[in-house]
Amino acid sequence: MTTNIGTRLAGKVTIISGSASGLGRVAAIKFAGEGASIVISDLTDGASTVEEIKSFGGKAAYIKADVASEDSWSDVISFATKTFGSVDVLYNNAGVMLGDDDDPVATSVATYERTMDINVKGVLLGCKFAIPVMLKQGKGTIVNVASFVAHMGAATPQIAYTASKGAVLAMTREIAVIYARKGIRANALCPGPVMTPLLAAFLDNEAKRQRRLVHIPMGRFGEPDEIANGALFLSSDESSWMTGQSLIIDGGITAAYVTPE
């Protein structure tokens, strides 16, 4: 088979949670195209993503996993080390934005708890089980997906999601400080609105979509590749002196005081 694999992540074993579909799948394919061996970790069957990666000469394997489960994360880390030999990059991508997430009065406790379990506890557990392997290796890179709403309030009420992403950002900074002198870097990736199925389910009518678009200075939603490129940078040695930071890719939202006409 003729391959055209890049080298930006050559030799790096990368776990990407929630990578059977959506932004995670885009990242998995892109990372594999740069030489990483990818562990597809997802509740959804990731066989098609694995097949696509292998079709161009990349390396990937799938394991069914629930990010909110300690046992599941333990299995993912064991699977990665047994299959590929190490854990060099942990990309905590999995997350939810539930359709009934609203303001503090209307949002149910069940919705809040489910959001925090996946978006926050899921990130914590990934780090809990990956970091010991990284410490033994003397190196490792963690990328946690937060959001631009970790820096500012959302135009459309989504209190549980916003709270969860603020927690991810704060957690990432603390992890970065704890392990900075032990060879482990941790950074947060903060995307603006990207029209994935996750966001489409939340912005389920034209009025909601237009309300969001009016706050984006560039006047459009982001593309999945644009977010994956940021994750690739944070995962690679190109960002080797960068830790505890927030990489915001949001079309200018957080830079704007007023929305341009």
Which of the residues are catalytic? Answer: 161
Three-state DSSP state, 41? strand
Q: How many whole angstroms separate alpha carbon 217 and alpha carbon 173?
A: 28
Task: Please name the amino acid found at residue 64.
Answer: K
Three-state DSSP state, 211? helix
Q: How many whole angstroms separate alpha carbon 57 and alpha carbon 35?
A: 10
**Which residues does 248 contact at the CB level (< 8 Å), separation at least 6?**
148, 151, 190, 192, 254
- List, edge to edge, every strand of the sheet that includes 246-249: 59-64, 37-42, 13-17, 89-92, 140-145, 184-191, 246-249
- Tokens describing residue 134: 């990284």
Helix axes 22-32, 224-235, angle to 10 degrees: 50
Closest CA to 101 of 27, 159, 181: 159
